[in-house]
Amino acid sequence: MLVIDDAGEKLGEMDTSEALALARERGMDLVEVAPMARPPVCKVADYGKLKYERKKREAEARRNQVIVEIKEIKLRPKTDDHDFDVKLRAVERFLADGDKVKVTVRFRGREIAHRDIGEEQCRHLAERLGPAAIVEQAPRMDGKQMFMLLAPGKKK
């Protein structure tokens, strides 16, 4: 196996027993870094310290990670202008928070014959949002519902 010391310097290839003896001599542990490599790579280091540093890196990565939620707004083909404006403001707020928005137009009964009205509502919503939204998935039917997915675009 290839052995590396805690400073990152190569100590060379050696037998497992030799590497363990070297680690004990230095008062450290022999930690396998790359088991699938040929030859396997081991590091002479303090295992507790390595574990602590890895935990800190993972915590930092989690802290910097952005969780994108999908919010949903439901419309109907007969949604009135004022109600549409209220839903538009809600969509703007969701997008400003960095969330994706799923716009659902639900059809009831004979309304299903007027899919064009639902598609027009979706397109009108996207137009009114302008550069604040990117249409990630164009309006499409799924049973008695039409869906459109919006993602946050450029900030105003």
Q: How many domains does the chain have?
A: 2
The reply to whether 15 and 80 lie within a common domain is: no
Residue range of the domain that includes 119 = 70-152
Q: Is the pLDDT of residue 135 over 90?
A: yes
pLDDT, mean over the chain: 90
For residue 31, give the CATH number of its domain.
3.10.20.80
Residues 89 and 122 in one domain: yes
Among 4-13, 40-49, 84-93, 99-108, which stretch is predicted with the lowest mean pLDDT? Answer: 4-13
Same domain, 54 and 101: no
- In tens, the pLDDT along 77-118 reads 989 999 999 999 999 999 998 899 999 999 998 988 989 999
**Cα 44 from Cα 123, distance rounded (Å):** 62
Residue ending a domain, choose from 64, 82, 99: 64
Residue 104 near residue 75, CB atoms below 8 Å: yes
